[in-house]
Amino acid sequence: MNISQKRIVESPTWLSGYLYEGNLFGRPSKIKLSIENIEFYVLEGYSDKFLKKLANLIKQGVYVNPANLRDQVVYIAAKLNSNLRLNELLKDIQSEICNILNADAASILMYEQDHLRFLVTVGKASGKIESIPVPMESIAGKIFTEGKVLIFNDLEKNPIHFKGVDKAAKFKTENIVGSPIWVENEKIGVIEVLNKSGGFDKDDAEIVELFAKLIGRKLLSTWQYEKFSDAFKKVLLAIATAIDKRDNYTHQHSRNVARYSVELGRKMNLSQQLLEKLEFSAILHDVGKIGIPDSILLKPGKLTDEEYQTIKNHTVYGAEILSQIKYVDRDIMNGALEHHERLDGSGYPYGKRDGEISLFGRIIGIADVFDALSTKRTYKEAWTLSDVLRVIGEDVKKGKFSEELYEKLVELANDLNFET
């Protein structure tokens, strides 16, 4: 019986191909699954249950038609659109394209004036290659300049192969298929897929080219957003540093509090989105000090009750200042407002207790104390880590900080590997 006489079933988009009784149907991909002596080649997002059904059908003599290549590429490109952060987007782009082409690694390079630059690479080619500018007289440069997909199957003999990257990544590139990445009629970079045993063919080139067209806009907007938010963060840090300096704090205070807060948040399994907000909130937790007069903020001697009341207002001022920024929501504002509140009600400005204090207020609060004690100030030396943890531990016993947060702080201190 030949195929035309058989019952034909169309497969789901995630099925690239399968090997049955020594015959290959469709194409291999990187993810292989053996079910009932059939080797299936699938993309991420496949269903085990469905594969079992397909295996049964194949065994009954039904011909399962693997997914059309074009449909598969459109499917994987569409999946990428839910991703917001550049790092994750790149990882997904790379792993998906490696999977569908059955290749070892992939890189994305963006065009910057007269050279190309790697964004970030995962997989076997990962390493410190992001900082190396790739000249236009290279394979990636040639792909970009010619503006078309190209295959290089014998790199050994190719004089334009730029060895700097392989060297830095301790990776040996054997073959490459690469395409310019397009946004409408403008080239923005290059995607290269590396090392497929046996080399790349025309089908592979077609996949990469289509994929590069489909991801262009998403990649560009995510890249620009990332560049903007990095620049924005630098501006915030500059403001925070100015405030720290005025208060005779080390210029690193806001940066440190932000770093510790994010690490604590990570240990508490906060989402990426919350971690970003937490970082923003922690960088600016003391921004309200702008509203405290020098005569009080910088007073060397003991403060009067009234002066101390004024200092306490930096939390309220901070929340007020932050509320003027469109991006700022309740969580971010609470970090500034509540970082001096304590669980036992002994803090300020409101003397809130336990659950009344927001998560950001609690995290930034403990990170703030941790940094204040462990760094040198004009009025005190830096304390040793064991002293810092002992004193905060005493505060935990008094009910000021939570046991849970303290445990995370101890873990963090160990990670940071401070001298004790």
Q: For Fe ion, which is the closer residue by CB, 41 or 249? A: 249
Least distance from C-beta 339 to Fe ion, angstroms? 6
Q: Note whether 326 and 317 are within 8 A (CB).
A: no
Identify the H or E element spanning 111: strand 105-112
Least distance from C-beta 344 to Fe ion, angstroms? 18
Least distance from C-beta 285 to Fe ion, angstroms? 6
Choose the stretch contacting Fe ion; rule: CB under 5 A; options: 196-204, 213-221, 282-290, 291-299.
282-290
Q: For Fe ion, which is the closer residue by CB, 204 or 286? A: 286
What span, in angstroms and rounded, lies between the C-alpha atoms of 370 and 259?
12
Least distance from C-beta 347 to Fe ion, angstroms? 11
Q: Note whether 240 and 284 are within 8 A (CB).
A: yes
Closest-CB residue for Fe ion?
A: 286
Q: Which amino acid is at 110?
A: M
Q: For Fe ion, which is the closer residue by CB, 192 or 286? A: 286
Query: Is 8 in a helix, a strand, or coil?
Result: strand
Least distance from C-beta 326 to Fe ion, angstroms? 24
Identify the H or E element spanning 134: strand 133-135
Q: For Fe ion, which is the closer residue by CB, 200 or 401? A: 401
Q: For Fe ion, which is the closer residue by CB, 11 or 254? A: 254
Give ∠ CA 283-249-366 in degrees, rounded to 5: 55
Q: For Fe ion, which is the closer residue by CB, 209 or 341? A: 341
What six digits make up the tokens of 169?
A: 């990544």
Phi, psi of 12 (to 5 degrees): -70, 165
Choose the stretch contacting Fe ion; rule: CB under 5 A; options: 60-68, 175-183, 281-289, 299-307.
281-289
Least distance from C-beta 365 to Fe ion, angstroms? 9
Least distance from C-beta 352 to Fe ion, angstroms? 15
Least distance from C-beta 377 to Fe ion, angstroms? 14
Choose the stretch contacting Fe ion; rule: CB under 5 A; options: 122-130, 164-172, 271-279, 285-293.
285-293
Q: For Fe ion, which is the closer residue by CB, 174 or 331? A: 331
Draw the binding track, 176-215, toward Fe ion (x: CB under 5 A; -: no contact). ----------------------------------------
> CA torsion 24→26→31→35, rounded to 10°?
-60
Site for Fe ion in 364-383 (CB under 5 A): none
Choose the stretch contacting Fe ion; rule: CB under 5 A; options: 200-208, 228-236, 278-286, 354-362.
278-286
Site for Fe ion in 122-141 (CB under 5 A): none
Alpha helices in 284-358 (DSSP H): 294-297, 305-312, 314-323, 330-338
Q: For Fe ion, which is the closer residue by CB, 92 or 286? A: 286
Total binding residues toward Fe ion, as defined by CB under 5 A: 1
Q: What's the Cα-to-Cα distance from 192 to each of 119, 288, 310, rounded to whole Å?
A: 12, 49, 59
The alpha carbon of residue 129 and the mean position of all alpha carbons in its chain are separated, in whole angstroms, by 17
Task: Kindly report the length of the chain.
Answer: 420
Choose the stretch contacting Fe ion; rule: CB under 5 A; options: 52-60, 221-229, 283-291, 357-365.
283-291
Least distance from C-beta 323 to Fe ion, angstroms? 17
Choose the stretch contacting Fe ion; rule: CB under 5 A; options: 9-17, 48-56, 60-68, 284-292.
284-292
367: left (phi over 0), alpha (psi -120 to 50) or beta: alpha
Q: For Fe ion, which is the closer residue by CB, 99 or 241? A: 241
What span, in angstroms and rounded, lies between the C-alpha atoms of 229 and 317?
25
Strand partners, 8: 63
Q: For Fe ion, which is the closer residue by CB, 27 or 340? A: 340
166 CB burial (10 A radius; 0-12, 13-18, 19+): middle
Least distance from C-beta 126 to Fe ion, angstroms? 40
What six digits make up the tokens of 22?
A: 């020594």
Q: What's the Cα-to-Cα distance from 20 to each of 38, 63, 129, 285, 314, rounded to whole Å?
A: 5, 11, 41, 62, 71
What span, in angstroms and rounded, lies between the C-alpha atoms of 278 and 308?
27
Q: For Fe ion, which is the closer residue by CB, 244 or 286? A: 286
Least distance from C-beta 409 to Fe ion, angstroms? 18
Q: Which of 286, 338, 341, 371 binds Fe ion (CB under 5 A)?
A: 286
User: Residue 350: CB partners within 8 Å, gap ≥ 6?
Assistant: 341
Name the residues that contact Fe ion, by CB under 5 A: 286
